[in-house]
Structures are given as structure tokens and as C-alpha cells.
């Protein structure tokens, strides 16, 4: 489902929810000083805002106001049957920004959240944005096409769909215990805590919402959105990312956003916000203050 216009006015509902124009409730966290520089954090699939907690705590402790929301269908937000696509995701981010009247934002997106941030720029511009960050992010395009031969074959994403239908609980455990954190690499020491956290967050997402999101993050082309990045941009990616391989993502995005600063973490997996959190925290804070 694609939309060409932004929905009706979003409104804040209580301390931690925003109601979108299509009656979806978006849950958000609001950490740190209310008058601090604003950071928004958009999460990956099939997770929620809790996946950013190490960065949110660090940045809030350093005087920033950190807003992290649960994408529609994920975490504590509503689970609508329709609208599980990048246009709606971007408009939901806009709804949070508008309802809270956020300005001068450093907007970061991890994985699928990077696509959300890119599509936000494409649909809503950068009038409220000061800086942009793509962290292990999916843009410009994940799936392999004739124009994107370096992408992943559609069979990879069909496999995710098949696994989700067959036993999504096991699928999430397999992803977390294997490629997401790089625990399948020789010499790696798996963390049961990280595996359990990934699984718990994934199981909070609506089955239909998470299923539809596979198409959203894999088949959405963000090339035109990236062309509208006119703010300082940070791109961070691990060179051992088995989920979103670096060549078709960060390297390609860097060519489309030539002013971007690209930081490659040697040996880092997709889940670098946890495995390399201290390094990422420092890089994000330095970028925000630059």
C-alpha cells in the first residue's frame, strides 16, 4: 500500500503514545532532559525501541533528549492489518515528530529503521532534521534485481517468509543465535541474554505485521530518498554483517550520499548496537556534537 500524501494531524495520547491519522497508536520512549538536543532512534526488524536501549541510556546521560518509538505492528504499538510498508513507517515517524514538535533532530535508523529514516526524508524533507545516521541500514536496496546485481536473491527473503509461517519463534531464535550477532563465527562466545532479548522483542511484534515487514525492508528502493539527504550524514556498518551485507548497503549508500561519513567496524556483525555498543555510542555522540 503506497500513499502520496501525509495523513490527518497526529495527536499525543497520554505520556507515551501518539495517535496517527489512520488511528494507529505508536508507543514511544522519551528519555533525558526535555530541553536537550533531540535524537530519534528507529529500530530494526522484528524488534522494538528496546533494541536501542544502550544508545538511548548513553545519549540521555550525556544531555540529549532521546525519542525511540515502536514501529507500527511492533512492541507496544498497535497491530494494524494493513499499512505495514515503508510509506506508513515514515509517516508514523513524522507523526511522532509532529505531535511532539521536535526540531533540530539527529535522526538515526538501524537496519529496517534506516529505511524508515530514508523514506521520511523522501516524503517529509529535512526541515526538522539537523543530522542523519544510517546504522547497519538496508538502503539503498536489499533485494537483487537486474539494476541491483549485488543485492541478496529473493529466495533469501522467501526463506524468511517460509520460516515465519512455519515457526517464527524458532526463526527468531535461529537468527539471534547465528548471523545477527555473529555467534555462528569461529571463536564467538554467544550471549544467551542477547539471544533471549532478540526473541522476546520479536515475539511482541504482530505475526502479520512482522511478516509484511519482510517485503518492506527487502524490496523498497530508497535510491531517490537518499538523493534528498542534504544534512550531515553518518553511515556505520560492520564488514562482517551477514544480514545486510556491506557492499550493497553502506558502500552503495555512501556513493549516493557523497558527503556522508562512512565508518566501517572491522569484524562487526549486524547487531553491532549491542556487540560494539561502546564504539557506536562514542561515534554517535561525536557526530551529534560535530
Any idea what the CATH number is for the domain that residue 216 is in?
A: 3.40.50.1820
Mean per-residue pLDDT, 98-115: 98
Q: Is 174 a catalytic residue?
A: no
Instruction: Find, among 111, 275, 109, the residue nearest to 182 by Cα.
Output: 275
**DSSP 8-state secondary structure symbol assigned to residue 108:** E
The pTM of the full predicted model, rounded to 2 decimals, is 0.96
| 95 three-state secondary structure | helix
Residue 2 has a pLDDT of 46
Is 149 within a domain?
A: yes
Residue 1 has a pLDDT of 38
Is 2 within a domain?
A: no
**Could you list the residue range(s) of the whole structural domain that residue 55 is in?**
11-289
Is 144 within a domain?
A: yes
Cell of 8: 490527518
Residue 288 has a pLDDT of 98
C-alpha–C-alpha distance, residues 43 and 56, integer Å: 12
Is 56 within a domain?
A: yes
Residue 3 has a pLDDT of 54
Active-site residue (options: 87, 241, 274, 283): 241
Is 112 within a domain?
A: yes
Cell of 245: 551485507
Active-site residue (options: 51, 78, 111, 213): 111
**DSSP 8-state secondary structure symbol assigned to residue 85:** S
Q: Is 35 a catalytic residue?
A: no
C-alpha–C-alpha distance, residues 137 and 119, integer Å: 12
Residue 80: how many other CB atoms lie within 10 Å: 18
Is 81 within a domain?
A: yes
Is 5 within a domain?
A: no
| 12 three-state secondary structure | strand
Query: Number of structural domains, the chain?
Result: 1
Mean per-residue pLDDT, 263-290: 98
Is 1 within a domain?
A: no
Share of the chain above pLDDT 90, in %: 96
DSSP 109-137: EETHHHHHHHHHHHHH-STTEEEEEEES-
Size of the chain, expressed as the number of residues it contains: 290
Active-site residue (options: 27, 88, 270, 276): 270
Q: Is 241 a catalytic residue?
A: yes
Could you give the count of Cα atoms lying within 13 Å of 111 in the half-sphere of its Cβ? 22
Amino acid at each position: 500500500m503506497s500513499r502520496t500524501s501525509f495523513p490527518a494531524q497526529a495527536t499525543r495520547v497520554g505520556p507515551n503514545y501518539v495517535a496517527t491519522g489512520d488511528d494507529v497508536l505508536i508507543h514511544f520512549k522519551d528519555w533525558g532532559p526535555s530541553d536537550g538536543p533531540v535524537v530519534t532512534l528507529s529500530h530494526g526488524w522484528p524488534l522494538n525501541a528496546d533494541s536501542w536501549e544502550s544508545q538511548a541510556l548513553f545519549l540521555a546521560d550525556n544531555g540529549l533528549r532521546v525519542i525511540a518509538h515502536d514501529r507500527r505492528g511492533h512492541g507496544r504499538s498497535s497491530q494494524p492489518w494493513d499499512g505495514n510498508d515503508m510509506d506508513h513507517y515514515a509517516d508514523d515517524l513524522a507523526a511522532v515528530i509532529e505531535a511532539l514538535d521536535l526540531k533540530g533532530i539527529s535522526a538515526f535508523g538501524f537496519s529496517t529503521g534506516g529505511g524508515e529514516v530514508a523514506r521520511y526524508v523522501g516524503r517529509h524533507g529535512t526541515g526538522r532534521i539537523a543530522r542523519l545516521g544510517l546504522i547497519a541500514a538496508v538502503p539503498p536496496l536489499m533485494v537483487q534485481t537486474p539494476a541491483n546485481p549485488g543485492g541478496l536473491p529473493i529466495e533469501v527473503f522467501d526463506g524468511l517468509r517460509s520460516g515465519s509461517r512455519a515457526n517464527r519463534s524458532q526463526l527468531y531464535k535461529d537468527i539471534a543465535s547465528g548471523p545477527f550477532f555473529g555467534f555462528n563465527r569461529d571463536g564467538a562466545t554467544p550471549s544467551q541474554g542477547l539471544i533471549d532479548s532478540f526473541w522476546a522483542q520479536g515475539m511482541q511484534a504482530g505475526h502479520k505485521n512482522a511478516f509484511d515487514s519482510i517485503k518492506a525492508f527487502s524490496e523498497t528502493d530508497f535510491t531517490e530518498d537518499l538523493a534528498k539527504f542534504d544534512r550531515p550524514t553518518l553511515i556505520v556498518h560492520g564488514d562482517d554483517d551477514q544480514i545486510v551485507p556491506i557492499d550493497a548497503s553502506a558502500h552503495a549508500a555512501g556513493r549516493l550520499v557523497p558527503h556522508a561519513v562512512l565508518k566501517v567496524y572491522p569484524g562487526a556483525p549486524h547487531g553491532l548496537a549491542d556487540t560494539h555498543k561502546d564504539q557506536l555510542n562514542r561515534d554517535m555522540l561525536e557526530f551529534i556534537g560535530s
